[in-house]
Amino acid sequence: MAKLQIQSVFPKAVNILGEKKDPCRSLWRNVLIVALEDAVGRHWRNKNFGMGMESAQRYFLEPNRDFALVCHYAGFDHEYVRMKARKFIKENKNG
């Protein structure tokens, strides 16, 4: 079974321009990673996690202010993250 690489969904150009490590930004980026794990049914604590998958997928796929705010705190463009998450979720449904 292929190892899930959640972080590949998020922009990789993080410290190219001298961005300093920010614990708050790291926290919000991890919130997005865990939410994406939930959306594809790969919750790290519960391998049978599935009840919340649809809700977690809607969080990424349907426009909402909370998602935009979390992306903002994480230092990401919410539209870009949504586009990448949509593709990632679709690939993992079919794969």
Tokens standing for 35?
Answer: 């939410």
The one-digit pLDDT tens for each residue of the chain (95 residues) are: 445 555 555 555 455 555 677 889 989 999 999 898 888 877 655 555 556 788 889 999 999 999 999 999 999 999 999 999 999 888 877 55
C-alpha Rg value of the chain to the nearest Å = 13
Whole-angstrom Cα distance, residue 87 to residue 66?
20
Asked if 60 and 68 touch (Cβ cutoff 8 Å), the reply is no
Helix (H) or strand (E) holding 71: helix 65-74
d(CA 39, CA 55): 8
Q: Which two tokens stand for residue 85?
A: 């998450």
Whether this prediction's pTM lies above 0.85 is answered by no
Q: Which residues have a Cβ under 8 Å from the Cβ of 32 and sit 6 or more positions away?
A: 10, 70, 71, 74, 76, 81
